[in-house]
Amino acid sequence: MKLIGSIIPVCAMLWAIASPAFAGSATATLSITVQAPLAVALTPPNATEACGAAAGTVVSALSVTGGDGNTVTWSISGDTTDFALNGSSIVVGPNGIALADCGKVNNVVVTATQQ
């Protein structure tokens, strides 16, 4: 009987030590970097080009600000007859500026896409 009387308190003590703890709290810190939106910068922002400018003449240099730092893919729309995309520049198109377009305001829309 003495042995059983000794075993019960020992078993109760072991159960108390080995039982899982469910109460309490825990904290963690999450650092979040909020990226600036992608924006296109044109240099110069409003260009004037001579009607007789040679094909390939740089009209405006393109760059981006913000975004996630990944590579940018450029595309243009609008007057793609007189103007073209060459790398990160808008240039006079391969056939120069058409005489019919001399003295007019021509619009080129630049799109930067970041994957």
Q: What is the pLDDT of residues 14-39, one digit of tens each?
A: 555 555 667 889 999 999 888 889 99
Report which of residues 60 and 21 the model is more confident about. 60
Question: The pTM is what?
Answer: 0.70
Q: What is the pLDDT of residues 66-104, one digit of tens each?
A: 998 899 999 999 999 999 999 999 999 999 999 999 999
> What is the CA angle 8-12-16, rounded to 5?
170
Q: What is the pLDDT of residues 36-49, one digit of tens each?
A: 899 999 999 999 99
10 Å Cβ neighbour count for 38? 15
Exposure of 16 in the CB half-sphere (CA atoms within 13 A)? 6
CA–CA gap between residue 72 and residue 67 (Å, rounded): 9
Taking alpha carbons only, the member of 58, 47, 56, 50 closest to residue 101 is 50
Q: Quick check: 108 pLDDT over 80?
A: yes
CA–CA gap between residue 61 and residue 74 (Å, rounded): 12
Q: What are the domain boundaries of the chain? A: 39-114
Taking alpha carbons only, the member of 89, 101, 87 closest to residue 52 is 101
